[in-house]
Structure 1
């Protein structure tokens, strides 16, 4: 038993970004300590239902797995659960086995602080947060230097169901031993220092940036990589909106007209919206011409590429990429900073609006198209052209 490694159990939330960064921190830990083993338990993506219901229904499976691991000789002592920020129901499972729990916060420190701020409004001040969101004002959030417009509050809290889930998760953060955040002090100094002086939450440890910088994606996009190799340095605009990002046909056509009118070289990761409510994940178009302006692909064949899923790291690391139009998912922002690619912020969903506010206004590390963008808003081509040129 002396040579049996200690075991950590990681439980990421379903979603590419959550799983990817969880795997990266797991790799980092096992590479640093040969006496440590890590088990990553993957939750199947949900179809319908709230986040709390999705993760809670998996507790019994995690309980059974942990019980089997404890009973199995040679599996090692389980020394901790490291759970995703949206899997706090797993604290109950860990407590049943008297195992300490840590939270891995896959977003940024500013959003962690913002979550704490919203919890204070709800629990201590009895504030109607949804009413506040629609008040079109600015508020002082202790974890930001600049005042935060309520119009950039995350879309996730703009419904009662979303707000209830976020508050449920935030309250449970107080029960864990520590919070590990995928960020670094040099980027989010004010937010991290503010969190460190908040004695109502567990210790916060910035451990980022946690990035998967391997070039495996190049093998899956040989055509676009070969095309990039033939372009001038820093001449190509890369548009990519994450694994969950997509637009309706009207907006797709307006983006296309903006790209054509601008004359800039481009690579555009164009995804098809989910075909039904049961499947919330965008897919690749079999024929993207059905949603693009007639003749667009032929007219732009010499200056651009329209692709489906994009190997984002491989493309951002390519010297020909000179700009990145992004949905402002946290992993994407960390990747663009790592490669030094100028970013245009086009937030779509979740906490992306507040991420964009931090990058554009708080830190001055990106330019905006529209920080308070909502899916039912139409961004016109002239706004796109002006922002990309800036």
Structure 2
């Protein structure tokens, strides 16, 4: 079973299906946890803020459970957001420190790492939060773009809700996911597809992505009408795939039938 769907990765699925040396592939996705939320009071606060924003006007920045940046990069992101002029919700996490924590944590005072006066200047325009209820945010009608690390779950969530992505992969298979979304499918725009960070060595040298590059990606993901159109079309296909009669619905049926045949 593969957490994808035929209409998204047609060439890959059909190539594997035609190779008798490869086990049968069942594309049964997108499989998503659409109820994922922590239910913290701060979640309600950001949702209420989004309720007051125009449709598709807010860019969400969220880099997954392991996603964080050092202070220099944080300041470049902040400058990019301020210069872009777009509304935003930014999930800002504290990096791992000398291997003492397993995952990034929330800042007690995010202003300590942000440019001086940033929170005051962007008051009403953006929200800086800690851990983000990503599914709930992507589902909100006010969110119109997503700056993402391109983990596969995040990719599928963005597709499901029709929110185009500005790709900023960090590690593991994320570079491949970003390449597919930008180059092969045209569902995303690039911020920095060759960015690589060593998450487990805080002292390792990490490349800095400039505010200008980030700003350009934000503007493109919020303003590129063709990418936005393709994202909406793929969203409809993802939902049709898991509905009765859809490709993933059929793949689950085939899986069941093949399983029964093999044990009988």
Q: Hey, what does 2:256 align to over in structure 1?
A: none
Find 1:314's aligned residue among 120, 133, 136.
Answer: 136
Give the alignment's Cα RMSD to 1 decimal: 1.4
Q: 2:210 aligned with 1:380, yes or no?
A: yes
1:99 paired residue number: none
Which runs of 5 or more residues in structure 2 are unaligned?
198-205, 221-264
Corresponding position of 1:204: 25
Cα distance in 1 for residues equivalent to 2:162 and 2:8? 14
Aligned partners of 2:20, 2:115: CA distance in 1, in Å?
56
Q: Secondary structure at the match of 1:212?
A: coil
Query: Does the CA contact (< 8 Å) of 2:37 and 2:135 recur in 1?
Result: no
Distance 1:259 1:321 in 2: 15
Aligned residues, how many? 211
* 1:303 aligned onto 2:125: yes
Mapped to 1, the partners of 2:189 and 2:35 lie a distance apart of 28
In 1, the alpha carbon distance for the partners of 2:28 and 2:169 equals 25
Supply the distance in 2 between the matched residues of 1:306 and 1:283 (Cα, whole angstroms): 14
TM-score normalised by length of structure 1: 0.53
Matched, 1:272 2:102: no
Task: Structure 1: state its 5+ residue gaps.
Answer: 1-179
Structure 2 CA distance for aligned equivalents of residues 285 and 250 of structure 1:
16
Deviation at 1:216? 4.3
Larger-gyration structure (1/2): 1
Q: Which has the higher contact order (CA 8 A, sep 6+)?
A: 2
CA offsets 1:117-147 (integer angstroms, 9 cap, x no match): xxxxxxxxxxxxxxxxxxxxxxxxxxxxxxx
1:232 to 49, 54, 57: 54
Give the secondary-structure state (helix, strand or coil) at the position aligned to 1:383. helix
- 1:246 corresponds, among 59, 64, 68, to 68
TM-score by length of 2: 0.77
Q: Which runs of 4+ in 1 moved over 4 A?
A: 215-220
Alpha-carbon distance in structure 2 between the residues aligned to 1:237 and 1:216 = 19
**Counterpart selection for 1:288 from 110, 126, 133:** 110
Structure whose residues are more often strand by fraction: 1
Distance 1:217 1:322 in 2: 22
